[in-house]
Amino acid sequence: MGQIVILDENTSNQIAAGEVVENPASVVKELVENSIDAGSTNITVEIQKGGITFIKVIDNGCGMEEDDVLIAFERHATSKIRSSNDLEGILTLGFRGEALASIASVSVVELTTRTKDKPYGSYVRVKGGTVEEVREAGCPVGTTFVVRDLFFNTPARFKFLKKDSTEAGYISDILNRIALGNPHISFKLVNNKKTVVHTPGNKDLLSTIFSIYGRETAKECIKITYKDEMFEIEGYAGKPSIARSNRNWQSIYINGRYIKNKTITAAIDEAYKTSLMKNKFPFVVLNIKINPVLVDVNVHPTKMEVRFTNEQDVFRAVYYAINNALLSESLVKNIEIES
Ligand code: ADP
Ligand code: MG
Protein backbone atom coordinates (compact mmCIF):
# COMPACT_ATOMS: atom_id res chain seq x y z
CA MET A 1 0.00 0.00 0.00
CA GLY A 2 1.19 3.49 -0.81
CA GLN A 3 2.65 5.63 1.96
CA ILE A 4 1.81 9.11 0.73
CA VAL A 5 -1.20 11.14 1.91
CA ILE A 6 -2.26 14.70 1.19
CA LEU A 7 -2.17 16.65 4.46
CA ASP A 8 -5.41 18.06 5.81
CA GLU A 9 -5.99 21.78 5.43
CA ASN A 10 -5.25 22.68 9.04
CA THR A 11 -1.92 20.88 8.98
CA SER A 12 -0.88 22.45 5.71
CA ASN A 13 -1.89 25.89 6.99
CA GLN A 14 0.22 25.36 10.10
CA ILE A 15 3.17 24.38 7.95
CA ALA A 16 2.68 27.45 5.76
CA ALA A 17 2.40 29.57 8.91
CA GLY A 18 5.99 28.60 9.66
CA GLU A 19 7.07 30.77 6.75
CA VAL A 20 4.95 33.84 7.40
CA VAL A 21 4.38 33.84 11.16
CA GLU A 22 7.61 33.71 13.04
CA ASN A 23 6.67 35.79 16.07
CA PRO A 24 4.10 38.36 17.24
CA ALA A 25 5.87 41.04 15.16
CA SER A 26 5.17 39.12 11.96
CA VAL A 27 1.48 38.95 12.91
CA VAL A 28 1.46 42.71 13.45
CA LYS A 29 3.24 43.26 10.13
CA GLU A 30 0.72 41.17 8.17
CA LEU A 31 -2.34 42.71 9.87
CA VAL A 32 -1.08 46.26 9.53
CA GLU A 33 -0.18 45.70 5.87
CA ASN A 34 -3.74 44.52 5.30
CA SER A 35 -5.01 47.68 7.01
CA ILE A 36 -2.84 49.80 4.69
CA ASP A 37 -4.10 47.93 1.62
CA ALA A 38 -7.63 48.65 2.87
CA GLY A 39 -6.95 52.39 2.54
CA SER A 40 -6.85 53.19 6.27
CA THR A 41 -5.70 56.57 7.52
CA ASN A 42 -5.66 55.55 11.19
CA ILE A 43 -4.18 52.30 12.48
CA THR A 44 -3.90 51.43 16.16
CA VAL A 45 -2.00 48.41 17.46
CA GLU A 46 -2.48 47.29 21.06
CA ILE A 47 -0.36 44.52 22.55
CA GLN A 48 -0.01 42.70 25.83
CA LYS A 49 2.81 40.41 26.95
CA GLY A 50 4.92 41.24 23.91
CA GLY A 51 1.99 40.36 21.65
CA ILE A 52 2.19 36.70 22.67
CA THR A 53 -1.15 36.66 24.52
CA PHE A 54 -2.84 39.64 22.84
CA ILE A 55 -2.58 41.70 19.66
CA LYS A 56 -5.32 44.04 18.52
CA VAL A 57 -5.19 45.96 15.24
CA ILE A 58 -7.89 48.54 14.65
CA ASP A 59 -8.21 50.31 11.31
CA ASN A 60 -10.60 52.71 9.59
CA GLY A 61 -10.20 51.16 6.15
CA CYS A 62 -12.80 49.88 3.70
CA GLY A 63 -13.85 46.92 5.85
CA MET A 64 -14.93 43.52 4.54
CA GLU A 65 -18.21 42.36 3.02
CA GLU A 66 -20.29 39.84 4.95
CA ASP A 67 -19.70 37.31 2.15
CA ASP A 68 -15.94 37.69 2.42
CA VAL A 69 -15.32 37.28 6.14
CA LEU A 70 -15.05 33.48 6.09
CA ILE A 71 -13.31 33.03 2.77
CA ALA A 72 -10.67 35.56 3.89
CA PHE A 73 -9.34 32.89 6.28
CA GLU A 74 -8.89 30.33 3.49
CA ARG A 75 -5.45 29.79 2.09
CA HIS A 76 -4.74 31.58 -1.24
CA ALA A 77 -7.81 33.76 -0.69
CA THR A 78 -7.20 37.35 -1.74
CA SER A 79 -9.06 40.32 -3.15
CA LYS A 80 -5.82 41.82 -4.47
CA ILE A 81 -4.99 39.75 -7.54
CA ARG A 82 -7.04 37.62 -9.89
CA SER A 83 -4.44 35.68 -11.86
CA SER A 84 -0.72 35.25 -12.27
CA ASN A 85 -0.77 38.08 -14.85
CA ASP A 86 -1.40 40.47 -11.97
CA LEU A 87 1.84 39.39 -10.30
CA GLU A 88 3.58 41.78 -12.66
CA GLY A 89 2.96 45.26 -11.44
CA ILE A 90 1.81 44.72 -7.86
CA LEU A 91 1.12 47.87 -5.90
CA THR A 92 -0.60 46.37 -2.87
CA LEU A 93 1.44 45.06 0.06
CA GLY A 94 -0.41 41.76 0.10
CA PHE A 95 -1.26 39.43 -2.79
CA ARG A 96 -0.42 35.90 -1.62
CA GLY A 97 -3.62 35.39 0.35
CA GLU A 98 -1.77 33.50 3.05
CA ALA A 99 -1.52 35.68 6.11
CA LEU A 100 -4.98 35.28 7.63
CA ALA A 101 -5.07 31.52 7.03
CA SER A 102 -1.63 31.16 8.57
CA ILE A 103 -2.27 33.37 11.60
CA ALA A 104 -5.67 31.79 12.32
CA SER A 105 -4.18 28.28 12.18
CA VAL A 106 -1.82 28.99 15.10
CA SER A 107 -3.86 31.32 17.34
CA VAL A 108 -7.34 32.47 18.33
CA VAL A 109 -8.50 35.21 15.97
CA GLU A 110 -11.49 37.51 16.25
CA LEU A 111 -12.45 39.67 13.30
CA THR A 112 -14.99 42.49 13.49
CA THR A 113 -15.57 44.46 10.30
CA ARG A 114 -18.02 46.67 8.44
CA THR A 115 -18.12 48.37 5.05
CA LYS A 116 -19.51 51.90 4.72
CA ASP A 117 -22.62 50.91 2.78
CA LYS A 118 -23.92 48.49 5.42
CA PRO A 119 -25.67 49.45 8.68
CA TYR A 120 -24.16 46.47 10.52
CA GLY A 121 -20.97 44.47 10.30
CA SER A 122 -19.75 40.93 10.89
CA TYR A 123 -17.96 39.11 13.68
CA VAL A 124 -15.99 35.89 13.24
CA ARG A 125 -13.96 33.85 15.73
CA VAL A 126 -11.49 31.25 14.48
CA LYS A 127 -9.47 29.04 16.83
CA GLY A 128 -6.57 26.99 15.49
CA GLY A 129 -8.04 27.17 11.99
CA THR A 130 -11.58 26.15 13.02
CA VAL A 131 -14.40 28.67 12.74
CA GLU A 132 -16.15 28.81 16.13
CA GLU A 133 -18.58 31.66 15.71
CA VAL A 134 -19.98 33.89 12.94
CA ARG A 135 -22.61 36.56 13.51
CA GLU A 136 -23.70 40.07 12.66
CA ALA A 137 -22.16 42.78 14.77
CA GLY A 138 -22.69 46.46 15.40
CA CYS A 139 -19.36 48.17 14.78
CA PRO A 140 -17.82 51.20 13.11
CA VAL A 141 -16.69 51.13 9.46
CA GLY A 142 -13.30 49.48 9.22
CA THR A 143 -11.73 46.34 10.60
CA THR A 144 -10.52 45.12 13.96
CA PHE A 145 -8.50 41.96 14.42
CA VAL A 146 -7.74 40.47 17.82
CA VAL A 147 -5.15 37.70 17.89
CA ARG A 148 -4.78 35.77 21.16
CA ASP A 149 -2.45 33.05 22.40
CA LEU A 150 -0.11 32.81 19.45
CA PHE A 151 1.26 29.27 18.90
CA PHE A 152 -1.07 27.79 21.57
CA ASN A 153 -1.33 24.64 19.42
CA THR A 154 2.24 24.55 18.10
CA PRO A 155 4.46 24.09 21.19
CA ALA A 156 7.60 23.70 19.09
CA ARG A 157 7.08 27.25 17.77
CA PHE A 158 5.98 28.63 21.12
CA LYS A 159 9.28 27.53 22.66
CA PHE A 160 11.21 29.81 20.34
CA LEU A 161 9.45 32.97 21.47
CA LYS A 162 11.67 35.37 23.37
CA LYS A 163 11.00 37.42 26.50
CA ASP A 164 7.89 39.65 26.36
CA SER A 165 10.03 42.78 26.28
CA THR A 166 12.11 41.43 23.37
CA GLU A 167 9.00 40.51 21.37
CA ALA A 168 7.49 43.94 22.15
CA GLY A 169 10.71 45.50 20.85
CA TYR A 170 10.40 43.61 17.55
CA ILE A 171 6.81 44.83 17.22
CA SER A 172 7.71 48.43 17.84
CA ASP A 173 10.58 48.17 15.35
CA ILE A 174 8.44 46.81 12.52
CA LEU A 175 5.64 49.27 13.23
CA ASN A 176 8.09 52.18 13.21
CA ARG A 177 9.43 51.04 9.84
CA ILE A 178 5.96 50.72 8.39
CA ALA A 179 5.01 54.14 9.78
CA LEU A 180 8.10 55.76 8.21
CA GLY A 181 7.07 54.34 4.85
CA ASN A 182 3.52 55.71 5.21
CA PRO A 183 3.62 59.29 6.54
CA HIS A 184 0.03 59.78 5.34
CA ILE A 185 -1.24 57.26 7.90
CA SER A 186 -1.40 57.89 11.65
CA PHE A 187 -0.06 54.87 13.57
CA LYS A 188 -0.36 54.26 17.27
CA LEU A 189 1.25 51.51 19.31
CA VAL A 190 -0.12 50.83 22.79
CA ASN A 191 1.95 48.38 24.85
CA ASN A 192 0.33 47.20 28.09
CA LYS A 193 -2.04 50.20 27.99
CA LYS A 194 0.78 52.70 27.47
CA THR A 195 1.12 54.60 24.16
CA VAL A 196 4.69 54.14 22.96
CA VAL A 197 4.49 55.52 19.43
CA HIS A 198 2.04 57.88 17.80
CA THR A 199 2.77 59.27 14.35
CA PRO A 200 0.88 62.32 13.04
CA GLY A 201 -0.26 60.94 9.66
CA ASN A 202 0.10 64.44 8.17
CA LYS A 203 1.99 63.26 5.04
CA ASP A 204 5.17 64.88 6.32
CA LEU A 205 8.05 62.42 6.61
CA LEU A 206 10.17 64.68 8.80
CA SER A 207 7.48 64.97 11.46
CA THR A 208 7.03 61.21 11.29
CA ILE A 209 10.79 60.81 11.87
CA PHE A 210 10.49 63.27 14.75
CA SER A 211 7.65 61.31 16.39
CA ILE A 212 9.62 58.06 16.20
CA TYR A 213 13.25 59.03 16.74
CA GLY A 214 12.92 62.37 18.51
CA ARG A 215 14.03 65.93 17.94
CA GLU A 216 17.79 65.33 17.98
CA THR A 217 17.56 62.96 15.03
CA ALA A 218 15.02 64.98 13.04
CA LYS A 219 17.22 68.06 13.42
CA GLU A 220 20.18 66.32 11.79
CA CYS A 221 18.35 65.15 8.66
CA ILE A 222 18.88 66.37 5.12
CA LYS A 223 16.06 66.10 2.60
CA ILE A 224 16.52 63.79 -0.36
CA THR A 225 14.69 64.42 -3.63
CA TYR A 226 15.71 62.76 -6.84
CA LYS A 227 14.03 61.94 -10.12
CA ASP A 228 15.10 60.35 -13.39
CA GLU A 229 13.26 58.41 -16.12
CA MET A 230 13.12 55.30 -13.98
CA PHE A 231 13.08 56.35 -10.34
CA GLU A 232 11.62 58.88 -7.98
CA ILE A 233 13.42 58.92 -4.66
CA GLU A 234 12.47 60.86 -1.56
CA GLY A 235 13.54 60.66 2.01
CA TYR A 236 16.04 61.91 4.55
CA ALA A 237 19.75 61.36 4.97
CA GLY A 238 21.21 61.75 8.45
CA LYS A 239 24.26 63.94 8.92
CA PRO A 240 27.43 62.01 9.84
CA SER A 241 27.06 63.31 13.42
CA ILE A 242 24.20 60.87 14.05
CA ALA A 243 25.80 57.84 12.37
CA ARG A 244 25.80 54.60 14.35
CA SER A 245 27.77 51.40 14.49
CA ASN A 246 25.03 49.28 12.91
CA ARG A 247 22.49 49.51 10.11
CA ASN A 248 19.37 49.46 12.29
CA TRP A 249 18.76 53.09 11.47
CA GLN A 250 18.33 52.53 7.78
CA SER A 251 14.85 52.06 6.34
CA ILE A 252 14.36 51.41 2.65
CA TYR A 253 11.01 51.28 0.83
CA ILE A 254 10.14 50.25 -2.69
CA ASN A 255 6.73 51.58 -3.72
CA GLY A 256 5.80 51.84 -0.05
CA ARG A 257 7.01 48.35 0.91
CA TYR A 258 9.68 48.10 3.62
CA ILE A 259 12.46 45.92 2.23
CA LYS A 260 16.07 44.93 2.75
CA ASN A 261 18.43 44.99 -0.19
CA LYS A 262 22.19 44.67 -0.48
CA THR A 263 22.55 46.75 -3.65
CA ILE A 264 20.80 49.68 -2.02
CA THR A 265 22.77 49.48 1.22
CA ALA A 266 25.96 49.32 -0.84
CA ALA A 267 24.90 52.48 -2.70
CA ILE A 268 24.22 54.22 0.61
CA ASP A 269 27.67 53.23 1.89
CA GLU A 270 29.29 54.49 -1.30
CA ALA A 271 27.53 57.86 -1.06
CA TYR A 272 28.76 58.36 2.51
CA LYS A 273 32.20 56.93 1.86
CA THR A 274 34.09 60.20 2.14
CA SER A 275 32.15 61.53 5.12
CA LEU A 276 32.00 58.55 7.48
CA MET A 277 34.57 56.42 9.21
CA LYS A 278 34.63 52.71 8.48
CA ASN A 279 32.05 50.71 10.46
CA LYS A 280 29.83 53.76 10.94
CA PHE A 281 26.44 53.65 9.29
CA PRO A 282 24.25 56.65 8.50
CA PHE A 283 20.62 57.26 9.41
CA VAL A 284 18.68 56.96 6.15
CA VAL A 285 15.00 56.80 5.23
CA LEU A 286 14.61 56.17 1.52
CA ASN A 287 11.32 55.91 -0.38
CA ILE A 288 11.99 54.65 -3.87
CA LYS A 289 9.24 54.72 -6.48
CA ILE A 290 9.80 52.53 -9.49
CA ASN A 291 7.58 51.09 -12.20
CA PRO A 292 6.34 47.90 -10.45
CA VAL A 293 7.01 45.88 -13.60
CA LEU A 294 10.75 46.39 -13.01
CA VAL A 295 10.71 44.80 -9.57
CA ASP A 296 9.77 41.31 -8.43
CA VAL A 297 8.32 41.23 -4.91
CA ASN A 298 7.34 37.58 -5.01
CA VAL A 299 10.74 36.30 -3.88
CA HIS A 300 10.02 35.28 -0.30
CA PRO A 301 6.78 34.72 1.70
CA THR A 302 7.48 37.71 3.96
CA LYS A 303 8.07 39.91 0.87
CA MET A 304 10.98 41.71 2.52
CA GLU A 305 13.27 40.76 -0.34
CA VAL A 306 12.85 42.07 -3.86
CA ARG A 307 14.62 41.57 -7.16
CA PHE A 308 15.26 44.34 -9.64
CA THR A 309 15.48 43.90 -13.38
CA ASN A 310 18.40 46.29 -13.37
CA GLU A 311 20.46 46.40 -10.17
CA GLN A 312 23.02 48.80 -11.62
CA ASP A 313 20.40 51.48 -12.32
CA VAL A 314 19.09 51.14 -8.77
CA PHE A 315 22.60 51.51 -7.39
CA ARG A 316 23.29 54.61 -9.45
CA ALA A 317 20.01 56.32 -8.62
CA VAL A 318 20.33 55.74 -4.87
CA TYR A 319 23.96 56.84 -4.92
CA TYR A 320 23.15 60.11 -6.71
CA ALA A 321 20.03 60.75 -4.65
CA ILE A 322 22.02 60.64 -1.42
CA ASN A 323 25.16 62.20 -2.81
CA ASN A 324 23.18 65.19 -4.09
CA ALA A 325 21.58 65.66 -0.69
CA LEU A 326 24.94 65.52 1.09
CA LEU A 327 26.45 67.86 -1.51
CA SER A 328 23.72 70.38 -0.91
CA GLU A 329 24.91 70.53 2.69
CA SER A 330 28.55 70.41 1.51
CA LEU A 331 29.09 67.25 3.49
CA VAL A 332 30.93 65.54 0.67
CA LYS A 333 33.52 66.88 -1.73
CA ASN A 334 32.23 67.76 -5.15
CA ILE A 335 34.44 65.44 -7.14
CA GLU A 336 33.33 66.72 -10.54
CA ILE A 337 34.37 70.28 -9.76
CA GLU A 338 37.66 69.27 -8.17
CA SER A 339 38.95 67.03 -10.95
P1 ADP B 1 -3.57 39.18 1.11
O2 ADP B 1 -3.27 40.39 1.93
O3 ADP B 1 -2.33 38.62 0.50
O4 ADP B 1 -4.66 39.39 0.13
P5 ADP B 1 -4.49 38.05 3.61
O6 ADP B 1 -4.63 36.63 4.07
O7 ADP B 1 -3.58 38.92 4.39
O8 ADP B 1 -4.08 38.01 2.09
O9 ADP B 1 -5.94 38.72 3.60
C10 ADP B 1 -7.00 38.10 2.84
C11 ADP B 1 -8.01 39.12 2.38
O12 ADP B 1 -8.78 39.60 3.50
C13 ADP B 1 -7.44 40.37 1.73
O14 ADP B 1 -7.17 40.17 0.35
C15 ADP B 1 -8.54 41.40 1.98
O16 ADP B 1 -9.54 41.30 0.98
C17 ADP B 1 -9.15 40.95 3.29
N18 ADP B 1 -8.66 41.75 4.43
C19 ADP B 1 -7.74 41.36 5.36
N20 ADP B 1 -7.52 42.32 6.26
C21 ADP B 1 -8.31 43.36 5.93
C22 ADP B 1 -8.55 44.68 6.47
N23 ADP B 1 -7.89 45.11 7.55
N24 ADP B 1 -9.45 45.47 5.84
C25 ADP B 1 -10.12 45.05 4.73
N26 ADP B 1 -9.95 43.83 4.18
C27 ADP B 1 -9.05 43.00 4.75
MG1 MG C 1 -2.17 40.38 3.69
The arithmetic mean of pLDDT across residues 111-120, rounded, is 97
In the chain, the amino acid numbered 326 is: L
172-220 pLDDT tens trace: 999 999 999 999 999 999 999 999 999 999 999 999 999 999 999 999 9
In the chain, the amino acid numbered 114 is: R
Q: How far does residue 232's CA lie from ligand 2's centre (Å)?
A: 26
Domain 220-333 class?
alpha beta
**Euclidean distance between CA atoms 176 and 187, whole angstroms:** 9
ipTM topping 0.90: yes
Q: How far does residue 34's CA lie from ligand 1's centre (Å)?
A: 5
Q: How far does residue 316's CA lie from ligand 2's centre (Å)?
A: 32
The arithmetic mean of pLDDT across residues 295-302, rounded, is 82
Q: Evaluate whether 280 touches 240 at the Cβ level (below 8 Å).
A: yes
Lowest-confidence pick of 8-12, 40-44, 179-183, 334-338: 334-338
Q: What is the pLDDT of residue 17?
A: 78
Tell me, rounded to whole angstroms, the distance of Cα 67 from its chain centroid: 27
Q: Evaluate whether 192 touches 186 at the Cβ level (below 8 Å).
A: no
The arithmetic mean of pLDDT across residues 4-21, rounded, is 86
What is 292-338 written as a DSSP string? Answer: GGGEE-TTSTT----EES-HHHHHHHHHHHHHHHHHHTT-S--HHHH
Q: What is the pLDDT of residue 339?
A: 39
pLDDT score of 338 more than 50:
no
Percent of the chain past pLDDT 90, that is, above it, reads: 80
Angle, in degrees to the nearest 10, between helices 262-272 and 311-328: 30
Please state the pTM of the whole predicted model: 0.93
**What is the H or E stretch that residue 210 is in?**
helix 205-213
Ligand nearest the Cα atom of residue 59: 1
Q: Evaluate whether 151 touches 106 at the Cβ level (below 8 Å).
A: yes
Q: How far does residue 61's CA lie from ligand 1's centre (Å)?
A: 11
**Euclidean distance between CA atoms 180 and 171, whole angstroms:** 14
Ion ligand 2: residues, CB within 5 A, are 34, 94, 99
**Euclidean distance between CA atoms 60 and 172, whole angstroms:** 21
- Report which protein residue has its CA nearest ligand 1's atom 12: 72
Give yes or no for residue 96 CB within 6 A of ligand 1. Answer: yes
Q: How far does residue 13's CA lie from ligand 2's centre (Å)?
A: 15
Ligand 1 atom nearest the C-alpha of 97 is 8
- Report which protein residue has its CA nearest ligand 1's atom 16: 79
Q: What is the pLDDT of residue 297?
A: 84
- Report which protein residue has its CA nearest ligand 1's atom 18: 34
Mutate to test the pocket of ligand 1, among 100, 109, 110, 300 (most ligand atoms within 8 A of CB): 100
Q: How far is CA 31 from CA 79, 92, 138, 245, 284, in A?
A: 15, 13, 21, 32, 26
* The CATH number of the domain covering residues in 9-198: 3.30.565.10
Mutate to test the pocket of ligand 1, among 34, 64, 79 (most ligand atoms within 8 A of CB): 34
Q: How far does residue 177's CA lie from ligand 2's centre (Å)?
A: 17
The ranges assigned to domains in the chain are 9-198, 220-333
Q: Higher model confidence: residue 142 or residue 17? A: 142
Q: What is the pLDDT of residue 233?
A: 98
